[in-house]
Amino acid sequence: MLTLDHIAVLGTDLAGAMAYCQTKLALEMAAGGKHARFGTHNRLIGLQDRIYLEAVAIDHDAPAPKDARWFGLDHFSGVPRLDKWICRVPDIKSALKALPEAGRPVHVTRGELSWTMAVPADGQLPWDGLFPALIEWHVKDLPGDMLPKADRCLEQLVVSHPDASGLATRLAPFLEEPRIRFETAPTAALSATLSGEDMSWTL
């Protein structure tokens, strides 16, 4: 079973991805860290319901990794935008038997955090990057529980794609999440609506 864990805004640099998140949500991002395995770094915002928002980009001061970076960051260009959704699984090996197109398991650590992420060999997730990234956490307390909670709740995540119905059908046996909607559209895109304090925000 796939459980929505977090959503990610990508940028060509972290400052731009952070600014996008902070401007869109009128919030300050909490500290994140560096991912030496993939030469990236991030900042975070805790949301309600155990979900969080990540701003992530290539760390241009870090050595290049030995293989492709996750989230397709080697090929990312343009303005910062919501670009990835990440689902938690209880057993990454079992998940990859059912959904092998998600990639190969790669173990990652950052500080006291430890997890295994499914990453395709070329870093590019299927369905033009809109297939969910799969993650198995190896920690007692999830980041979505530990991060300070902003008064923002994810109301809806829209996955738009020319073959949205195909992606929805592929994931249907494993995903039960009423907040996720698959929408047929000419181009691939991801958007999210958040609510709180009698207001709404769109990413």
Under 8 Å between Cβ of 168 and 130: no
How confident is the model over 15-55, as pLDDT tens digits? 999 999 999 998 999 888 999 999 999 999 999 999 999 99
Give me the pLDDT at residue 24, please. Answer: 94
How confident is the model over 64-87, as pLDDT tens digits? 999 999 999 999 999 999 999 999
CATH number among 3.30.465.10, 1.10.3720.10, 3.10.180.10, 3.40.50.720, domain 3-202: 3.10.180.10
**pLDDT, mean of residues 163-172:** 98
Residues whose CB is less than 8 angstroms from the CB of residue 200 and which lie 6 or more positions away in sequence, other chains included: 155, 193, 194
Q: How far apart are CA 81 and CA 71, in angstroms?
A: 13
Give me the pLDDT at residue 86, please. Answer: 98
Give me the pLDDT at residue 197, please. Answer: 78
Where residue 135 falls among pLDDT bands split at 50, 70, 90? very high
Residue 196: is its pLDDT beyond 90? no
Q: How far apart are CA 196 and CA 68, in angstroms?
A: 37
Q: What percentage of the chain reaches a pLDDT higher than 70?
A: 100
Q: How many residues does the chain have?
A: 203
16 alpha-carbon distance from chain centroid:
17
Which position has the higher pLDDT, 104 or 26? Answer: 104
Where residue 110 falls among pLDDT bands split at 50, 70, 90? confident
Average pLDDT of the chain?
A: 95
Which position has the higher pLDDT, 163 or 111? Answer: 163
* Helices (H), ranges, the chain: 14-25, 92-98, 143-146, 164-171
**pLDDT, mean of residues 98-103:** 98
Residue 198: is its pLDDT beyond 80? no
Where residue 14 falls among pLDDT bands split at 50, 70, 90? very high
